[in-house]
Structure formats: structure tokens, C-alpha cells
Structure 1
């Protein structure tokens, strides 16, 4: 299965605050917040939702197409992605802006406060998905429309409809910036809709739809639930719930949802049933959770299957095996 992943490509600046954010907030002063957090560490890592998902897919042996905008400072990052199986031929290089920056502070409860500088991502709306379907380039079997410049997200969704390309909607952090009309357009007709639990509530508020109305417009709605795993909803069917891998030591939650998406899409692309694909997504998310940085984990099929067997049982691990690229 050939998957094109559109969205942000960024450098992550990850910091750790040894306290709890909630302890620093005074309830009757929330209208006048002025806080500075003294952090214990700084890690500069490769990131961006599209690059993170593409990294995961490539590490599982697929050859995803990365679609996004970067600056001239992307050269070293591009080599890294190519080494991990990512096709970067559709990446636009800006002559004016640097690659986007994600700056995030995580507290001891794994809560996060972040800021995102768009940089070259502002030019992502110039990318035409028809470049993916030209002579000698087989059309992707699925396009994931991830968090990006809002104009790019809308353009890519419209182009998927015009070109007849199945697409997955993953608006994530950009829900806060999208208008109601934009959000409805991004969701309507998606084969897969990805959100976390908070984003699911925000999506309902933003669209003005109830859950039934959303499910009537998408193939399946996949909601990640943190330590509780994932819920998959489909119109006319009972929800499927898959628990997370238990007992994972948390090193850094950044990019864990992206790792889940990579595992899930690799699984569905290789013919796994929905539950098995979700279990593979949870296993890959556990690997990401135990590493600092969203692309710091290493994919070892044997280890993934061992984790799956411990978490879900021998039979479940055997069903997951094809999704890892393992023959056993």
C-alpha cells in the first residue's frame, strides 16, 4: 500500500519541567497568566506530525511519500528520513523560511504546553497533489491529511476528492485554528478520522455535528485515549475498544499519537483487521513513549511481536505479524 502523508515537518525543542503545571495556576488569576518555567533539560529532535508518521511507516518497511514544506535547513533531516524509508520527492523547499519549529514543555504528569512556529509550512498550500499522480508515479492508495497550514489542509482534501484518492483526516492541533466550515470540509468523506479524546470533543463543538452526524460522514472514527488505549467507532456498529500496552515507562509523550497512526495505517495497509491494526498501533506507540523525541525509537519486528504477545496474547501477536513486515 502506498501512503502519502501530508502535514507539518518540524524541529522539536523538548523541555522538561520537574513540577506540575496545575500547581502554578491561581484560579482567580487565570485571566492574567504570566508564567515562566525553569526547565531541567532541553532535547532538540526531528519532528512534525507528517514526518513522524512517515518515519513510523518507513521504519515498518513501507515507502511513504512525505508531502510538506521545509526550509533550506532540511538537508540533514532529509537524509535521516530517506535512511528510514521515506520518499521525500514531494517535499517543497522554501527559499524564504526555515523549517517549522515546535517548542514544548512537559511536566511530571505528562501534561504539555507548546508553541508552534509555522515557518516554511506557510507555503504548504502551494503543493499540488497532482504531482503524486503524474506519469511514472502510481497514485497513492491513501492520503493522510495531517495538521498543516489550514489552506494546505483544505486544498489537499479537495484535491483528494477531485482525483478520487481515498483520504484520512487527522486535523489534530489545528482544530483550534480551523473554522467550522473548514473542519466540516476536512472531515466529510474521510475513510479514517483520527482524533484524541479532547480533539474529538473540540471537533464536535467546531462542526456543530453530533457523533452520529460525524459517523454518517466518515468510514471510521479512531479516537486515541492515552493510557486507556483507543476506541474505533463506525456507523451502525458497536464501538471497538483496544487497550494500550500496559506498564510502559514514560520517557516523552511527544509524537506517541503519530506512532499509533503509523502502526495502525501500516496494519490496515497490509490487510490486518481493524482490531489487529489498532493493537499494532498501540505497540508502536509504546515504543515511542519509551524514547525521548518522536523519531527516537527503533523498530525491531521481533521486539514488537514480543510486546504484542505480552500485552494481547500469542494469537493476537500472530495476527499482528504481517503488519510489522515480519514473516512469522
Structure 2
């Protein structure tokens, strides 16, 4: 199965605040907040939702095609991605802007406050899926991840026009999108990904009920943090898969992207939804235990062991081919 992952490609600037954001917020002063957090560390890492998902898929042996816009400063990052199984032939290089920047501060409760500089990502709207180095007809799935909003809409429309299956992952961009835009991005998606907060925001933006969303998508996957993931499809009972327990929390950045890579990596090999969610949780656990979105290693043997330990030996057996030497 060949997957194209469209969306943001960025450099992450990650800092840690040793206190709690909530302790710094005064309820009756929230209409004019002016805060500065003295942080203890700074890590500069490779990131961007599309690149993070592609990194995970590449580690699972799926050779994803990355589609996005970057600056001339992307050269070293590109080498890294290629070394980790990612095809960068769909990446547009800007002549004027630098690669996007994600600037995030995490407190001791793993709450985050972040800013995102668009940079070259603004040019992603110029990318035409019909002009990719891989014929669109040869793609089994296009992931529409957070990106320039116009690019997200264009790529979704092209998927519909070309009859190509797509996964909708609006996540962070829900705050920038209005109701009609969200409805357009979601309708007809084979897979819809959100976290709990984004799920509530999606319902508010669209004006749809949960049942109405499920009538318009194939399967809706909602990540639940340390409670795992909820998988829903119309006409089927909801499925909740618990997270891998006992994982040391190093950095939550990119954990959801790792889950998506694991989930999509499993369904690409025609594995069941419960097996896909388990692999997603296992890969998310590896990302959670490291600082940065692409510093974890996709160790297939270790992933198999993690699934076996977390969910039982029998639950891990369907992944033997996916995570074995022939994967």
C-alpha cells in the first residue's frame, strides 16, 4: 500500500517550564494576560505533523511519499528523512521562505502552550497532487494533515475528484477553520483522526452530532491520552483500546503523530482496527518516552514485545508479519 502524507514540515523548538501553567493564571485577569515563563531547557528537533507521520511509516517499511513545502534550510532534514525510509519527492522548496517553526513550552503536568510560524508552509497550496512524482492513481491513501488551510482544502478536493481514499487529520488547524471548511475536510474521509478536545471542537465547528459525523466518514479515531484510543464506525459498537501502561513521560510532542503512523501502518497491511490501534499505542509509547517527535527508534522487535506485554501474546500475533523480517 502506497501512502502520501501531506501537511506541515517544521523544526520544533521545545522548552520545559518546571511549574504549572494553571498556577500562573489569575481567573479575573484572563482578558489581558501578559506572561513570560523562565524555562529550564531548549531542544531543537525535527518535526511537523506530516513529517512525523511519514517518519513513523518509513520506520515500519512503508516508504511514504511526503508532500509539503519547506525552505532552502531543509537540506539536512531531507537527508535524515531519506535515511529513515521517507520519499521526499513530493516536497516543494521555497525560494523565499524558511521552513516552518513550531515553538512549544511544556509544563510539569504535560500541558503545552505553543506558537507556529508558517514560513514556507504557506506555499503548500501551490502543490498539485496530479503533478507528484508518483501517479495519484498509484496511491492507496492520501493523509491530509495540518497544513496551510488552502492546501488542506485543495488536497481534499483533489482526492474526491480523483477518487483517491483520504484520511482527514485537521487537528491543530481546527482553530483556524470555519464550519463549512471543516465539513468539507471531513466528508468522505476513510479515516478521521482527532484527540478528545479536537473532537469536541469539530462537533462545534460543523454543527453535526457525533452520529452525523460517523455517517460521513469511514472510521473516526479519537486519541484519549493516557487512556488510549477510541475507534468508531457507523453501525458498529465503539472500540476502546487502552494505552500502554507505565511509560515514562519525556515529551508529549508528536505522540499523536506516532499513533497515526502505527495505526495507518497496520491498516495498510489489512490488519484489524483493534490491532491497528494497539500498534498505534505502542508506537506512541516509544515517542512519549523520548524528547522530540522523531528521536524515537522504530524498533520492530521491541514494538512486537510491547504489544505482547501490554495486550497479551495472542494480541501481538497478527503483527508478526508487519513487524517481522519480511515487513
With the shorter chain as reference, the TM-score category is: over 0.9
The CA distance in 2 between the partners of 1:189 and 1:179, in whole Å, is: 18
Instruction: Write the distance in 2 (CA, Å) between the matches of 1:134 and 1:318.
Output: 33
Unmatched 5+ residue regions in structure 1? none
By how many angstroms is 1:319 displaced?
Answer: 1.6
2:53 matches 1:60: no
Report if aligned partners of 1:46, 1:295 keep a CA contact under 8 Å in 2.
yes
Partners of 2:2 and 2:14 lie apart in 1 by 31
90 and 325 in structure 1: CA distance in 2 versus 1, 3 angstrom threshold: farther
Q: Which residue of 1 aligns with 2:128?
A: 128
1:322 to partner: Cα distance: 2.7
Which residue number in structure 2 is paired with residue 221 of structure 1? 220
Q: 2: distance between equivalents of 1:133 and 1:302?
A: 33
- Count of equivalent residues: 327
Distance 1:292 1:60 in 2: 20
Task: Quote the residue 2:93 is aligned against.
Answer: 93
1:176 alignment partner in structure 2: 175
Q: Distance in 2 between matches of 1:228 and 1:209?
A: 25
Partner of 1:40: 40
**8 A Cα contact 1:270 1:322, kept in partner:** no
Alignment deviations for residues 203-240 of structure 1 (CA, whole Å, 9 cap, x no partner): 00000100011000000000000000000111111100
Name the Cα RMSD after superposition: 1.2
Post-superposition Cα deviations, 1:266-310, rounded to whole Å, max 9, x if no partner, equal: 000011111001100000000000010000001111111111111
2:237 alignment partner in structure 1 = 238
Normalising by structure 1, we get a TM-score of 0.98
Structure 2 equivalent of residue 258 of structure 1: 257
Conserved? CA contact 1:60–1:325, under 8 Å: no
Q: Is the 8 A contact 2:301 2:324 kept in 1?
A: no
Aligned to 2:107: 107
- The 1-side partners of 2:296 and 2:193 are apart by 22
TM-score of the aligned structures, taking structure 2 as reference length: 0.98
CA distance in 2, matches of 1:210, 1:222: 16
Is the contact between residue 89 and residue 132 of structure 2 (CA under 8 Å) also seen in structure 1? no
Counterpart CA distance in 2 for 1:183 and 1:59 is 31
Find the aligned partners of 2:324 and 2:91 in 1 and give their Cα distance: 26
**Aligned: 1:76 with 2:76:** yes
- Which runs of 5 or more structure 2 residues have no equivalent in the other structure? none
Q: Where do 1:125-164 residues align within 5 Å?
A: 125-132=125-132, 139-164=138-163
Deviations 1:119-168 (A, max 9, x none): 00000000000023766x76210000000000000000000011110000
Residue matched to 1:116: 116
More moved, 148-157 vs 137-146: 137-146
2: distance between equivalents of 1:252 and 1:152?
29
Q: Distance in 2 between matches of 1:89 and 1:238?
A: 40
